[in-house]
Amino acid sequence: MVAQINRDYVTRRPTRLWSRLLSYAFFEGRPLTTRGRWINPVIRAHTNLLRRLPQLKPVKAPAYILGTGRSGTTILGIVLSMHREVGFLNEPKLLWAALHPGEDLIGSYNRNHASYRLDAADASPHLVRAAHRIFGGFLAASGTCKIVDKYPELIFRPGFVKAIFPDARFLFLSRSGHATCASIEGWSKRLGVEDNGETHDWWGANDRKWILLIDQIVSEHADLAAYRDQFSKLDHTGRAAIEWIVTMREGLRLLDQRGEATLHVPYEALCAEPENWAVKLQNFLGLDRDPVFERYASDTLSIPQRDIQLSLPDWLTPIFDQTELELEALQK
C-alpha cells in the first residue's frame, strides 16, 4: 500500500488522502530496504527550501510515537492520521538526518558517526529554528494543526526532542516481546537485501544499527553486557529480544522521568478497547473529539495473536521474562 492507505481509509475521510500522499512524497524519505530511493534528493531539496523560508505555521505540542519497531507503531500512527486535525509522518528519518548529521542509525541517508542518544545540548539554536520551519511547512501544506511523528528510536532522545519542541508529547507503545520479536525476525528475512556487497536489513547497513545499539545502549545494562561474548551467536530473534528489552526499559524510564508528557499505550489493551483508547488519546494530545476517527479506530484495531513462542538462549530468557513482568505490573 502506498503511504499505508487503502480503499477503506480513503472512503472514511477522502480529505485525508492529500495529507498522507504529501507526507509520503515530500517528507518521509525512503530508507535502504525500500524502492524509489531516487526521490530522496527531491525531498532533501524540499527540506532545504523550507528551512530557508519564514516559518509557515506554528508547531504546537507535536506527538511522537515511540517504542520498538514492529510493535504496532505504524497502525497507531495510521489510526491517528484519520483524525481531522492530525498530520501523520511515518518515520521521517530523512528530515531528522538533515537536521542533525549524527542522527542516522540505519545508514539510509548518510554514513556519519551516529549516536543513539541525543540530548538538549545537541539541539543548537540553528537546528531548533530549522526544525520549526520544516515541520511548520508540513502543517501548512497538509492543512493540519497537530503533528504525529512515528519514529520509535526517538525514545532514546526525549531531551533532544524537548529542547526543540518543549511542549512535545510522547506515546510510549509497548507490545508483548514475543509478538514484537517474531515480527522483527519476519521483517528482516522478508525485506533484507544485498546491495553492492552490503547487507541491508532491520539492523541497518552491514549491521550498523546493531553495532551502535550494542556499543552505546546495551553497554549501559550490566545484566546484558555481561554476555557480550555471546552476542555474535544471536540470530534475528535474539537480537530483536535485546533491542526490545533495552527499549522497554527506556520507556519505563521515560514514564518515570517525563510522566506528565508521556502516555503509556499497551498495544494489546489498545486493540481490546479501541473506543476507550480513542478518547484517551484525543484527551492526552489535546485533540477535539472526532467521531470519524473514533469509529475508524474501533473498526481497524483488533486483538492480536497471543500464542507466539520464541527460542532464546538460556542466558537471555530470564532477562526477557523479567522485562515482560515489569510491563505487566505497570498495566495493573
CB atoms within 10 A of CB 150: 27
Give the C-alpha separation, 234 to 313, whole Å: 8
Please enumerate in sequence order all residues whose Cβ is within 8 A of that of 197, keeping only pairs 6 or more positions apart, or say none. none
**Threshold 0.85, pTM exceeds:** yes
Single out the residue of 302, 240, 101, 75 nearest to residue 173, CA to CA: 75
Q: What pLDDT score does 3 carry?
A: 64
Is residue 126 a contact partner of residue 51, using CB atoms and an 8 Å limit?
A: no
Q: What is the DSSP string of 172-206?
A: EEE--HHHHHHHHHHHHHHH-EEETTEEEETTEET
Q: What pLDDT score does 303 carry?
A: 81
pLDDT in tens, the chain (332 residues): 666 888 899 999 999 999 999 999 999 999 998 989 999 999 999 999 999 999 999 999 999 999 999 999 999 999 999 999 999 999 999 999 999 999 999 999 999 999 999 999 999 999 999 999 999 999 999 999 999 999 999 999 999 999 999 999 999 999 999 999 999 998 988 888 888 889 999 999 999 999 999 999 999 999 999 999 999 999 999 999 999 999 999 999 999 999 999 999 999 999 999 999 999 999 999 999 999 999 999 999 988 766 688 999 999 999 999 999 999 998 87
CB atoms within 10 A of CB 143: 14
Give the C-alpha separation, 63 to 182, whole Å: 27
Is residue 175 a contact partner of residue 267, using CB atoms and an 8 Å limit?
A: yes
Q: What pLDDT score does 309 carry?
A: 83
Q: What pLDDT score does 149 carry?
A: 98
Q: What pLDDT score does 332 carry?
A: 75
